Amino acid sequence: MDQVTGSARLLRFGIYEIDLEAGELRKGGRKVSLQEQPFQVLVLLLTNHGRLVAREELQRRLWPADTFVDFDLGLNTAIKKIRTALGDSAENPRFIETLPRRGYRFICPVEEISSALNQAQPAIPTLGQTAPAASAARVSYKKLLLALGLAGVLMAGGIVSLHRTGAPRTRAELERLGDRGTADNTAYEFYKKGRMALPGNADEAIQQFQQALKADPLYTVARGGLGEAYMKKYKTTHQDEWKTKAQDACKQAVDLDFTRPAGRICLGIYDHVLGNYKQAVQDFSEAIKIDPENKRAYQLRAWAYQLSDQPAKAESDFLKVTHLPPADFTAYADLGQFYFKNSQFAESARAYESAIGRKGDDARLHSSLAAAYEQMGKYDQEIAEIQEANRLQPNFDGFENLGLHLLNKRNFDEAIQNFQAAIQQSPEDYRGYGTLARAYFWAGKRDLARANYEHAIALAKKKLEVNPDDADVNLMLAVYQAMLGQEKPALYHLASVQQLQPDVPEVAFWAAIVELTLGKRDRALALVRQAHDLGYPAVEMNAAPDLDSLRNDPEFRQIMSAANTVHSHHQL
């Protein structure tokens, strides 16, 4: 198994390279734009090149349990963006190989280039030492919703003096410091800035915490924050030096101040990131012994319990958090997500409703509540929540998803309105015109359907000029062409996708629609069964108007009946 060592600064593959310090992907020396989450996925694959990285590992490392983000959608989107940036394809991969339903493997040779600067500097200055300052590159990234704050951005972190004088403070001295943990106002202001930066910018947080410690070297809470920021850095870069720095900072925080939970919380986050969930539970429990009302320690321990297969204890902690001050929406949002992950959808909905009652303007909460309603079969309430999420935060995917829900409910006029709104958000996206054409078709507006299918085909072909092997584009192009009666090109594009992705459930589902549209009923039924066997949701197949002509077919009914039976057993 090939893995990158912790001292690597540059990872070079083909004409591309990753600068781990600057957080940049480059092609021939020129920067290639890539968003933060896809960048993190690419780094993780690169640092494990030649090895299968399971979907479960990607979820554990980059999508912690305490995030609203849908993992499957997020990972699939990230992989697509990586392939677009690299000019790669799932069908003929040069860099990233897909192992269906298992994970991904980086298959191109990777050259490691170490940084002499990183090797020359100690992991963290020891107590009584100083370290020279290094320049810090600033990169602004969109903040990810990760409640643990365990996924950071990539930058070159500066090192400032952590010189310490004198012995640890006595208990009386520590108690006189009060809730702030320091008598130095400058240190406290830097600490607050570090905490504000930590969720989205690890390097900025590191700089602020280091400035706080420069003002007050014995500021335990700031040292714990510094350890957390170092661990974010490790999680993003997978360089061992950051892990070492994090562990040292956390242990120093524990040793310097036994009256505050900051050091134990820091160690808990350290163990959590490394997947040592049972040890993380012990760390957070020690923090709670020090401060029995520490809300953050309970929140973090709850997720550690969940990930160590102790759901009852996790639920107890999540419920405890809802009764601890200050009362805010996050406690109920965490509780809602916990219940959702454990298939307790009614309880999840109630928790999200409570969260919305405290923060009604958060689009993510409304989307999460919609997902719970969907699982409960409360489709009217689901649509209402999606509509509210779209009102609060308009975007292409939100309008398109709502349009698809309405389309499946045969509410064609409202579906059309939402697809039109999606197009306004992204006028060059072929999918918007394709779904709008689909709604027009089933609404009986065939001329409008034809015009939009033609426009969708033109945009899709334009996209294929950039990447001819894009499976998603080829698949939907086959659907659009079939709807216009263009049988030969439709089957050509469909065959190219089926040959390369024979075991993908979405391919089987849309292939069934193509074959049925072209009048090949038996072939369509076989593909419906294949889609079911591969795990495509039966509820979506049963709702799609494109398959209406199969509803009364005994074989179709038998497939749907078998799917419903399996689903019922799963719920039990």
What pLDDT is stored for residue 162 in this prediction?
Answer: 31
Of the pLDDT bands very low, low, confident and very high (cuts 50, 70, 90), residue 168 is low
Cα–Cα distance, 225 to 215 (Å, whole number):
15
- The token pair that represents 167 in the structure block: 């012995």
CATH of the domain at 544: 1.25.40
Region 447-456: mean pLDDT is: 97
What pLDDT is stored for residue 354 in this prediction?
Answer: 96
Of 229, 257, 275, the residue at which a domain comes to its end is 275
**Same domain, residue pair 93 and 136:** no
What pLDDT is stored for residue 156 in this prediction?
Answer: 26
Region 332-350: mean pLDDT is: 93
Secondary structure letter of residue 318 according to DSSP: H
- The token pair that represents 340 in the structure block: 């959702």
What pLDDT is stored for residue 248 in this prediction?
Answer: 95
User: For residues 167 and 326, which has the higher predicted lDDT (pLDDT)?
Assistant: 326
Region 387-397: mean pLDDT is: 88
Inside any domain, residue 498: yes
pLDDT digits (tens, 9 = 90+) for 104-160: 999 888 887 654 333 333 332 222 333 333 333 222 222 222 322 323 322 222 222
pLDDT digits (tens, 9 = 90+) for 398-415: 899 899 989 998 999 999
Asked if residue 302 has pLDDT above 70, the reply is yes
Please state which of the ranges 157-166, 318-327, 343-352 shows the lowest mean pLDDT: 157-166
C-alpha distances in Å from residue 268, one per residue of 220, 251, 280, 392, 476: 16, 11, 4, 35, 47
pLDDT digits (tens, 9 = 90+) for 32-73: 888 888 888 998 898 888 888 888 888 877 776 555 456 777
Inside any domain, residue 350: no
**Same domain, residue pair 488 and 565:** yes
Q: What percent of the chain has pLDDT over 90?
A: 49
What pLDDT is stored for residue 151 in this prediction?
Answer: 33
**Same domain, residue pair 128 and 89:** no
**Same domain, residue pair 139 and 260:** yes
Structural domain count of the chain: 3
Range of the domain at 177: 121-275
What's the per-residue H, E or C state across 465-514? HHCCCCHHHHHHHHHHHHHCCCHHHHHHHHHHHHHHCCCCHHHHHHHHHH
What pLDDT is stored for residue 93 in this prediction?
Answer: 84
Q: What is the mean pLDDT of the chain?
A: 82
**Same domain, residue pair 498 and 571:** yes
**Same domain, residue pair 125 and 110:** no
What pLDDT is stored for residue 69 in this prediction?
Answer: 55
Of 228, 254, 275, the residue at which a domain comes to its end is 275
Inside any domain, residue 397: no
User: Which of 40, 42, 38, 18 lies closest to 29, judged by CA?
Assistant: 18
What pLDDT is stored for residue 67 in this prediction?
Answer: 54
Residue 406 in contact with residue 419, Cβ under 8 Å?
A: no
- The token pair that represents 222 in the structure block: 């700031």
The neighbour count for residue 445, using CB atoms within 10 Å, is: 16
User: For residues 231 and 177, which has the higher predicted lDDT (pLDDT)?
Assistant: 231
Of 54, 85, 114, the residue at which a domain comes to its end is 114
C-alpha distances in Å from residue 468, one per residue of 20, 88, 181, 454, 472: 31, 10, 60, 19, 11
User: For residues 480 and 368, which has the higher predicted lDDT (pLDDT)?
Assistant: 480
Inside any domain, residue 283: no
CB crowding 556-572: b at 16 or more within 10 Å, else e: beebbeebeeeeeeeee
Inside any domain, residue 417: no
Please state which of the ranges 86-100, 228-242, 428-442 shows the lowest mean pLDDT: 86-100
**Same domain, residue pair 148 and 271:** yes
What pLDDT is stored for residue 124 in this prediction?
Answer: 28
What pLDDT is stored for residue 416 in this prediction?
Answer: 97
Asked if residue 171 has pLDDT above 60, the reply is no
What pLDDT is stored for residue 163 in this prediction?
Answer: 33
User: Which of 537, 528, 536, 547 lies closest to 505, judged by CA?
Assistant: 536
CATH of the domain at 200: 1.25.40.10
What pLDDT is stored for residue 132 in this prediction?
Answer: 31
Asked if residue 449 has pLDDT above 50, the reply is yes
Q: What percent of the chain has pLDDT over 70?
A: 83
CATH of the domain at 42: 1.10.10.10
SS3 405: helix
Cα–Cα distance, 515 to 531 (Å, whole number):
14
Inside any domain, residue 217: yes
Cα–Cα distance, 449 to 480 (Å, whole number):
10
Region 508-536: mean pLDDT is: 93
Kindly write down the DSSP assignment for every residue of 106-169, as one continuous string.
E-S--EEEE-HHHHHS-SSPPTT-------------PPP--TT-----------------SPPP
Task: Choose the most confident range, by mean pLDDT, from 107-116, 488-497, 499-508.
Answer: 488-497
**Same domain, residue pair 147 and 214:** yes
**Same domain, residue pair 220 and 263:** yes
Asked if residue 383 has pLDDT above 80, the reply is yes
Q: At what angle do helices 202-215 and 185-197 cross, to 10 degrees?
A: 170
What pLDDT is stored for residue 521 in this prediction?
Answer: 95
What pLDDT is stored for residue 61 in this prediction?
Answer: 76
Q: At what angle do helices 505-517 and 487-500 cross, to 10 degrees?
A: 160
What pLDDT is stored for residue 568 in this prediction?
Answer: 34
What pLDDT is stored for residue 169 in this prediction?
Answer: 57
pLDDT digits (tens, 9 = 90+) for 282-301: 999 999 999 999 999 999 99
Asked if residue 275 has pLDDT above 60, the reply is yes
**Same domain, residue pair 92 and 199:** no
Inside any domain, residue 518: yes
Q: What is the pTM of this model?
A: 0.58
Kindly write down the DSSP assignment for every residue of 333-392, as one continuous string.
HHHHHHHHHTT-HHHHHHHHHHHHHH-TT-HHHHHHHHHHHHHHT-HHHHHHHHHHHHHH
Of the pLDDT bands very low, low, confident and very high (cuts 50, 70, 90), residue 442 is very high
Secondary structure letter of residue 22 according to DSSP: T
Asked if residue 250 has pLDDT above 70, the reply is yes
**Same domain, residue pair 138 and 167:** yes
Inside any domain, residue 396: no
**Same domain, residue pair 153 and 253:** yes
